[in-house]
Amino acid sequence: MSTTSENVTRRPRTTGKEKTYKKTTSSALKGAIQLGIGYTVGNLTSKPDRDVLMQDFYVVESVFLPSEGSNLTPAHHYPDFRFKTYAPLAFRYFRDLFGIKPDDYLYSLVNEPLIELVNPGASGSLFYLTSDDEFIIKTVQHKEAKFLQRLLPGYYMNLNQNPRTLLPKFYGLYCIQSGGINIRLVVMNNVLPRSVKMHYKYDLKGSTYKRRASRKEREKSCPTYKDLDFQDMHDGLYFDAETYNNLMKTLQRDCRVLESFKIMDYSLLLGVHVLDQSHRDGGDSGQAGGDGRRPVGQRVLYSTAMESIQGDGRAAEALTTDDTMGGIPARTHKDEKLLIFLGIIDILQSYRFIKKLEHSWKALVYDGDSVSVHRPGFYASRFLKFMSTQVFRKTQSIRYSPSKRTRTSISALKSSSQEILSSHADEKHEDDRRDRLGGARSLASLDGQAIFGSYLRPDLVPANPSFYDGSSMGTISTSTIFVNVDNQTEERDDAASSSTFTLEDSAICLTSEQSTVDVDHDEGSVLDVYL
């Protein structure tokens, strides 16, 4: 039974050396959590597996655990309490979806002591971490627990469609009743593993109103900074194109789901591990747990940052090692190597009457678009814009493109080389032409004899040379001038009208001052030459 005082945020108090939450000491709370979960999960294993029905989301099981024990419950040294389990079959399905076996779930939560974490936020909740770094137990308010109950059917549908998500993964919802006080708990995935040292930690909403870490927060050994701090300390985190696209696709899909549920005021929890700084410190990237043993890598499916973003999974499996713990590789603008761990948190805030009233009041005093509380559609758009432009950026692929000067010099070099080659070719061609012109002579003579050959021996009239004789000074091709015997008069007129014929680079020159007379007197000699 809930009381009116439960709607007010309860902050843990410190009595001596131990914290209390709703007048319950932290040690008693941790003991009750482990006893209650151990009993309910163990009792659930006896129930057969079946499909989840709509009524399963609204089932609440309750068991009383007295300090002296009973036939069904063990004895303990804590005050008497009643332990409630919400939607046990539905949450069992969620655990099966992420590959969590009942024995592993019990071992993580029950067999090892829980580690209490310091809460940096304003919710006043208590956080407990399991020793194997797998799960986080968080105390929630009554309205948040009721909202999660109403959210379960839609949450079930979303996980079926998309198990790779940055949204919180809920594994159980419980309530402890003791002395008229209700303490509600939710079991979730752990976003920031203790085995990797976080050099920077951020809680990002995409808003600017009062989004800077307080002085008290900055004095902590590992403070949690906010949006304005990130803009002051980083010039964006750079990913390769494929990783950036997968990350933004996942964020867009998750924000669409949150908007459909009318959820706002959520945050992106971002942890940054600087690999170069870790190597300079001379230590391992991981830090040992409270018991001195280093936790092993996370075994829950889709629990690491690399596995949570959209992709085929092969890259995530290759990069999920004991050293990286599934972090997403990234770089700074100074080319420092990073590992990024992230997840969306605090999604149990709906845009109801109280939140609408809070936004209206703040919008009167401050810029309405800069405050954290806003309608879900605008909140999602602002959140995505901030993440895609200010936080996450895509590295530009470097392509070789020669400069204008280089291209000009190459063109000039090519043109100059072609000019040199062409000049050499022209000179050689001119020399060959002179040699051929020097060895050639007029085709016709006054005595009617056709002479072919060297002018040094005019008394020799050689026979018709072979067209394939390589030693001939000139080569007469089949495309030369043919004399048509049937139209000799027309050909003579054409020959007389022209001054000079040049065949095959002027190897044979026909001088036409006397060509008409020569052909009239001796047609056979001309035909002998042209054939």
| d(C-alpha 516, C-alpha 255), whole Å | 100
For the chain, what is the domain count? 2
The label of the residue with tokens 């919802």 reads: 173
Segment 223-279, tens digit of pLDDT:
999 999 999 999 999 999 999 999 999 999 999 999 999 998 899 999 999 998 776
SS3 39: helix
Clarify whether residues 159 and 95 are in a common domain: yes
CA distance 383 to 479: 81
Enumerate the β-bridge partners of residue 20. Answer: 13, 25
Q: Residue 13 carries which side chain, given as an amino acid letter?
A: R
Same domain, 49 and 170: yes
Q: Tell me, what amino acid is at 73? A: T
Query: Same domain for 185 and 107?
Result: yes
Strands, sheet with 328-331, edge to edge from the N-terminal-most edge strand: 200-204, 267-274, 337-345, 328-331, 237-239, 392-394
* Spatial distance between the Cα atoms of 240 and 398, rounded to a whole number of angstroms: 12
In this predicted structure, the answer to whether residue 59 has a pLDDT above a threshold of 90 is yes
Taking CA 24 as the corner, what is the angle to CA 18 and CA 28, rounded to the nearest 5 degrees?
A: 75
88 and 171 together in one domain: yes
> Does any domain span residue 531?
no
Both tokens of 458, joined, read: 């005019």
Are 184 and 203 contained in the same domain?
no
Is the confidence at residue 369, as pLDDT, over 70? Answer: no
Please identify, among 189, 222, 252, the residue that sits at the C-terminal boundary of a domain: 189
Q: Is the distance from CB of 216 to CB of 232 less than 8 angstroms?
A: no
Q: How high is the pLDDT of residue 461?
A: 46
Mean of the per-residue pLDDT values for the chain?
73
3-state secondary structure of 310: coil
Question: For residue 91, which of 140, 136, 58, 132 has the smallest C-alpha distance?
Answer: 58
Output the domain CATH number for residue 114: 3.30.800.10
The reply to whether 405 falls in a domain is no
Nearest one of 303, 335, 332 to 317, comparing CA atoms: 303
In terms of domains, do 167 and 197 share one?
no
Q: Is residue 461 part of a domain?
A: no
CA distance 182 to 184: 6
- Domain assignment of residue 330, given as a range: 190-275+302-308+323-362+373-396
Q: Which residues, other chains included, contact 516 with Cβ-Cβ below 8 Å and sequence gap of 6+?
A: 492, 495, 496
Tokens of 512: 């036409």
Tell whether 147 and 243 lie within a shared domain: no
pLDDT tens profile 270-327: 999 999 877 666 555 444 444 444 344 446 777 788 888 865 544 444 444 555 678 9
Give me the residues paired with residue 340 across strands.
272, 328
Which range is least confidently modeled, 3-17, 87-101, 140-154, 271-285? 3-17
**β pairing state of 392-394 and 237-239:** parallel
Q: Is the pLDDT of residue 493 over 50?
A: no
Q: Can you say how many angstroms the Cα of residue 469 is from the centroid of all Cα atoms in its chain?
A: 73
In a domain, 54, yes or no: yes
- Residue 480 belongs to some domain of the structure: no
Residue 488 pLDDT grade (very low, low, confident, very high; cuts 50, 70, 90):
very low
Residues contacting 452, CB < 8 A, separation 6+: 443, 461, 462, 465, 529
Out of 189, 205, 239, a domain closes at: 189
Query: Which run of H or of E encompasses 303?
Result: none
Burial 389-414 (b: 16+ CB within 10 A, else e): ebbbbbeeeeeeeeeeeeeeeeeeee
- What is residue 208's three-state secondary structure? coil
**Res. 192: pLDDT tops 50:** yes
Helix and strand totals (H; E) in the chain: 16, 18
Does residue 123 surpass a pLDDT of 50?
A: yes
Contact 295, 193 (CB under 8 A): yes
**Residue in 386, 400, 394 with CA at minimum distance from that of residue 242:** 394
Out of 287-291, 432-436, 462-466, the most confident range is 432-436
Helix, strand, coil shares of the chain, percent, nearest 5, are: 40, 20, 45
Q: 474 pLDDT exceeds 70?
A: no
With H, G, I as helix, E, B as strand and everything else as coil, classify residue 450.
Answer: coil
Task: Give the span between the Cα atoms of 74 and 66, in whole angstroms.
Answer: 8
Q: Can you tell me the distance from the alpha carbon of 190 to that of 98, in angstroms, rounded to the nearest whole number? A: 13
SS3 for 252-315 is HHHHHHHHHCCECCCEEEEEEEEHHHHHHHCCCCCCCCCCCCCCCCCCCCCCCHHHHCCCCCHH
Contact 24/185 with Cβ under 8 angstroms?
Answer: no
Cβ atoms of residues 495 and 512 within 8 Å: yes
Is 487 part of any domain? no
Per the structure block, which two tokens stand in for 463? 């026979």
Question: In the beta sheet, which residues pair with residue 189?
Answer: 135
Predicted TM-score of the model (pTM): 0.67
What CATH number does residue 209 fall under? 3.30.810.10
| Residue pair 301/163 in contact by the 8 Å Cβ criterion | yes
Residue 37 is assigned to a structural domain of this protein: yes
Q: Is 496 domain-assigned?
A: no
Q: For residues 172 and 194, is the Cβ–Cβ distance under 8 A?
A: no
Q: Which residue has the higher pLDDT, 6 or 345?
A: 345
180, 99: one domain: yes
Q: What DSSP string runs through 382-446?
A: HHHHHIIIIIEEEPPPP-----HHHHHHHHHHHHHHHHHHHHHHHHHHHHHHHHHHHH---S--T
Q: Is residue 362 scored above 70 in pLDDT?
A: no
